[in-house]
Chains A and B, each alone.
Chain A
Amino acid sequence: EVQLVQSGAEVKKPGESLKISCKASGYTFTTYWIGWVRQMPGKGLEWMGIIYPEDSDIRYSPSFRGQVTISVDKSITTAYLQWTGLKASDTAIYYCARHRGTGWYYDYWGQGTLVTVSS
C-alpha cells in the first residue's frame, strides 16, 4: 500500500528555520517524483515544486524558487521541505504527493503538515 506520512504540526517564530518531512512507503521511492503543494488558510492549492529521488533533480515553481528548499534522502525514502527564514505568510498546510511524471498529476497524497508562523 502506497503511503506518504508527513511530520507533525509546527509552530515557529518569524525568522526561524524549519524542515518538514514526508516519509514514503509501499512503492519504489526512487522511480517517482515527489511534489509539494501549499494551501494557505482558507485558500486554494499552489504548486511548489518536485524532486526526483533517484538523482535529486528539482523543479521549482517560479513563485517558490529561492523561498524554500526541496530535498530528499533516498536511503530513508523521505522527502523534505525547508525554510531558513520563516515569515508569517508561510503559515499554511503543506502537502507532499507522489507525482506521476508523464501525466503531471498526483495520485497519492500525504496527510498535510500545518506550519504556523507567529510572533
Chain B
Amino acid sequence: QSALTQPASVSGSPGQSITISCTGTSSDVGYYNLVSWYQQQPGKAPKLIIYEVGNRPSGVSNRFSGSKSANTASLTISGLQAEDEADYYCTSYTRNSILIFGGGTKLTVL
C-alpha cells in the first residue's frame, strides 16, 4: 500500500490561509471518512489536529479545518501564525485494514 501523497512544502505569510492536500485512492481516502491530520513541531511528538475528516479535538484552534472530496482530503489553516510552522501529516484507514500516512508537508510561515 503506497503512502498518501502530500506536497513536500507549502508556505504563507502571517494572516493568510493555506491548504495542504492529501491524495489517496478509492480504497482509502475515497472509501472511508477516516482521515486525520497531525502537526509535528521540530523535536516533538505529533499532535492530533483533525480526525474523521473534519472534526477538531478539544483545545485545537478553529483556525484548523479539514475536508474531503473524492480521493483527496485537505487541511486548511486560516489566519496563519508563526507558531503554525511545522510538519503536517495526513493519515487514512484503508480497505486492507491498515493505516497509512502521507509523506508529510513542511509549512513555512514567511
Contacts and interface: CB of A to CB of B under 8 A. Distances in A.
B48 A106 contact: yes
B48 A107 contact: yes
Given A47-B91, A103-B51, A105-B36, A59 B97 contact: yes
Q: How large is the interface on B (under 10, 10 to 19, 20 to 34, 35 or more residues)?
A: 20 to 34
Q: For A35, A59, A103, A110, which residue has the most chain B Cβ atoms within 10 angstroms?
A: A103
- Secondary structure at the A interface, as helix, strand, loop or mixed, is strand
Given A100-B51, A103-B34, A105-B51, A45 B101 contact: yes
Interface in A3-21: none
Contacts of A109: 45-47
A95 B43 CA distance: 12
Interface residues of A, number: 21
A110 B45 contact: yes
Contacts of B98: 47, 59, 61-62
Interface in A82-106: 95, 97, 100, 103-106
A47 B100 contact: yes
B31 interface: no
Contacts of B47: 109
Q: For A46, A100, A105, A106, which residue has the most chain B Cβ atoms within 10 angstroms?
A: A105
Interface in A38-75: 44-47, 59, 61-62
A45 B1 contact: no
Nearest to A99: B99
Interface of A: 35, 37, 44-47, 59, 61-62, 95, 97, 100, 103-107, 109-112
21 contacts: A44-B104, A45-B40, A61-B99, A62-B1, A62-B96, A100-B51, A103-B51, A103-B52, A104-B34, A104-B36, A104-B92, A105-B48, A105-B51, A105-B52, A105-B91, A106-B36, A106-B38, A107-B51, A109-B46, A109-B47, A112-B45
Given A95-B45, A95-B46, 5 more contacts: A44-B3, A44-B89, A62-B98, A105-B34, A107-B48
